Amino acid sequence: MKKLIQIFAFALLLLTIQNSRALGQKRIQFEKGKSSAVVQSTTGSTGTAYVLRAKSGQMLVLTLTPRTGVGIRVETDGRYGQQVLLREEKGGSFEVGLEESGDYTIFLGSTNGKSASFTLSIKIRKMTDI
């Protein structure tokens, strides 16, 4: 039952973030010649959102710590409409292949309804063929 409540709270948080995302998004721009950045912040009570621009054929590599207490979602609004590319209720390392050039939004939110500190490492690299 506790897990179900946590899932519901996280889903509600992501919906709240989505509805207010234009107000609080922060743009991530890599330093000249760099393809990575690190963000250290807190989720606050309603979560936080970051936007970055990437190109088709690139891979978004994300590492989120801590492994518990913070969830992540990556989405884009491209030619096929709004697409959720990643949704996890925990930290860890994730790779997201990008099929379109454009803006990608990274949402971070607490899974227990309380503000949580996090560190997010963001890298972009060329997607390789398998």
What CATH number corresponds to the domain at position 16?
2.60.120.380
Q: What is the mean pLDDT of residues 17-39?
A: 77
Provide the token pair at 72: 């992540």
Number of domains in the chain: 1
Which has more confidence, 128 or 34?
Answer: 34
CB atoms within 10 A of CB 122: 19
- With 50 as the cut, is the pLDDT of residue 1 above it? yes
What is the predicted pLDDT for the residue at 20?
Answer: 44
CA 112 to chain centre: 17
pLDDT band at 19 (very low <50, low <70, confident <90, very high): very low
What is the predicted pLDDT for the residue at 113?
Answer: 87
CA 90 to chain centre: 11
